[in-house]
C-alpha cells in the first residue's frame, strides 16, 4: 500500500500476524489496556513499557492486548544498530536517479491507526530514541529528515515498548523514561498459570511431560534462576522430538527430559530436575 504525506509517496509495511494467546496474569493485561484508554477528547493515550526478564511473554502480552482492541499490529524489532531512519523512513534506490521511501512498521502503524510494538526497546541508542521524542508526548508526530516531511499519528495509534531486564541493554535517558509510562512489570507466572501456558503451546504433549517441566521451572523460580516459560517450551519440545526420532521410541521420557534440560540450559540446570 502507498499513501502520500505532504506529496511524498510512502510505501507502507505489512501488519504482523502471530498465532499467540495470552494465558493467565490478567492484571498486567488490564494495566496495559488501561494505559491505552482515552477518557476525554482532551486526553491522550499513554505509551507503556513492559519490563521483565527475557522469555516471560512481554511481546505476547502486547500482541494479545492489541488483538483485543481489534487493531492492526506492527512489530518493530530494536537492536543496537537501529538508526533513526530505520524507525521512521528508509530511502531505497529504485531505478536510475529515483528513490522509493519505505515507511517503518512504526510509521505505518501511525498512519493506519494501528498498534506498534517496539520490541526490546532498551537495546537502542539514545540517538534513535531522540527521534521518537515528539511522538511520545502531546505532539504525537515524527519528522523524517530523509524525506523532508512531518508525520502525524492517527488518533487510534497506540504504542508499547517491551524491555528486557538484563545487563545487555542500555539505560534510557530520563526524558525518554518520562514519556514511556507507566512501567508494567511482568514476573514469572505461578504454577497453575505456567502449566496452562505450556499446555496451550504444546497441545500434542503428554500431561506428565508438562507437569515435569512445570515442576522444574517452579523450582528454578524459587531459587531466583532466570529460566522462563520459553526455556520450558524448548525443553519439552526437544524431549518429545528425541522420543519420536526413529529408533529412539524406547527412550524413557525422564531420560529424554534430562537430556533436553542438559542441552538446552546446561549442566547447572540439572540441580532443579524433579526427583519424583
Q: Cβ–Cβ contacts within 10 Å for residue 247, how many?
A: 6
CATH label of the domain that carries residue 97: 3.40.50.300
What number of CA atoms fall less than 13 Å from residue 71's CA on the CB side?
A: 27
Q: Say how far apart CA 61 and CA 67 lie, in whole Å.
A: 10
CB of 62 within 8 A of CB of 160?
yes
> Mean pLDDT across the stretch 96-115?
93
Q: How far apart are the first and last CA of the chain?
A: 57
Question: Using 50, 70 and 90 to split pLDDT, how confident is the model at 274?
Answer: confident
Quote the pLDDT of residue 72.
97
Domain that holds residue 216: 191-272
Strand order in the sheet with 115-119: 73-77, 115-119, 158-164, 49-52, 183-185
Residues 195, 181, single domain; the answer is no
pLDDT at residue 248 greater than cutoff 60: no
**How many Å apart are CA 78 and CA 75, to the nearest integer?**
9
pLDDT level of residue 276 (50, 70, 90 thresholds): low
Number of domains in the chain: 2
Give residue 24's pLDDT band: very low, low, confident or very high (50, 70, 90).
Answer: confident
Q: Do 268 and 178 sit in the same domain of this protein?
A: no
- 54 vs 74, more confident: 74
User: Among 201, 196, 257, 191, which Cα is nearest to 221's?
Assistant: 191
List the beta strands (DSSP E) in the chain: 2-5, 8-11, 49-52, 73-77, 89-93, 99-103, 115-119, 141-144, 149-152, 158-164, 183-185
162 contacts 58 by C-beta, under 8 angstroms: yes
Q: Are residues 46 and 154 in the same domain?
A: yes
Tell me the average pLDDT of the chain: 92
Instruction: Please tell me whether residues 237 and 159 are part of one structural domain.
Output: no
pLDDT per residue over 137-187, tens digit each? 999 999 999 999 999 999 999 999 999 887 667 788 899 999 999 999 998
Q: Is the peptide bond before 182 cis (omega within 30 degrees of 0)?
A: yes
Amino acid at each position: 500500500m502507498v499513501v502520500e504525506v505532504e506529496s511524498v509517496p510512502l510505501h507502507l509495511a505489512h501488519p504482523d500476524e502471530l498465532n499467540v494467546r495470552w494465558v493467565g496474569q490478567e492484571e498486567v493485561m488490564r494495566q496495559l489496556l488501561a494505559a491505552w484508554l482515552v477518557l476525554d477528547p482532551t486526553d491522550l493515550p499513554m505509551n507503556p513499557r513492559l519490563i521483565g526478564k527475557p522469555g516471560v511473554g512481554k511481546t505476547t502480552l502486547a500482541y494479545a492486548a492489541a488483538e483485543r482492541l481489534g487493531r492492526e499490529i506492527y512489530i518493530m524489532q530494536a537492536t543496537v544498530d537501529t538508526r533513526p531512519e530505520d524507525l521512521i523512513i528508509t530511502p531505497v534506490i529504485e531505478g536510475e536517479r529515483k528513490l522509493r521511501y519505505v515507511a517503518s512498521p512504526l510509521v505505518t502503524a501511525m498512519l493506519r491507526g494501528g498498534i506498534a510494538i517496539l520490541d526490546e526497546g532498551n537495546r537502542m541508542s539514545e540517538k534513535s530514541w531522540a527521534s521518537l521524542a515528539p511522538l511520545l508526548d502531546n505532539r504525537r508526530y515524527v519528522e523524517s529528515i530523509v524525506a523532508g516531511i512531518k508525520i502525524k499519528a492517527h488518533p487510534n495509534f497506540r504504542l508499547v515498548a517491551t524491555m528486557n531486564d538484563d545487563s545487555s541493554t542500555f539505560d534510557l535517558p530520563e526524558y525518554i523514561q518520562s514519556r514511556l509510562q507507566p512501567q508494567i512489570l511482568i514476573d514469572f507466572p505461578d504454577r497453575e498459570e505456567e502449566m496452562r501456558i505450556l499446555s496451550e503451546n504444546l497441545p500434542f504433549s503428554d500431561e506428565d511431560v508438562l507437569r515435569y517441566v512445570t515442576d522444574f521451572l517452579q523450582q528454578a523460580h524459587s531459587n531466583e534462576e532466570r529460566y522462563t516459560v520459553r526455556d520450558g517450551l524448548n525443553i519439552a519440545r526437544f524431549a518429545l522430538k528425541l522420543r519420536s526420532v526413529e529408533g529412539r521410541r524406547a527412550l524413557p521420557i525422564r531420560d529424554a527430559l534430562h537430556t533436553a534440560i542438559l542441552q538446552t540450559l546446561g549442566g547447572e540446570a540439572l540441580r532443579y530436575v524433579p526427583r519424583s
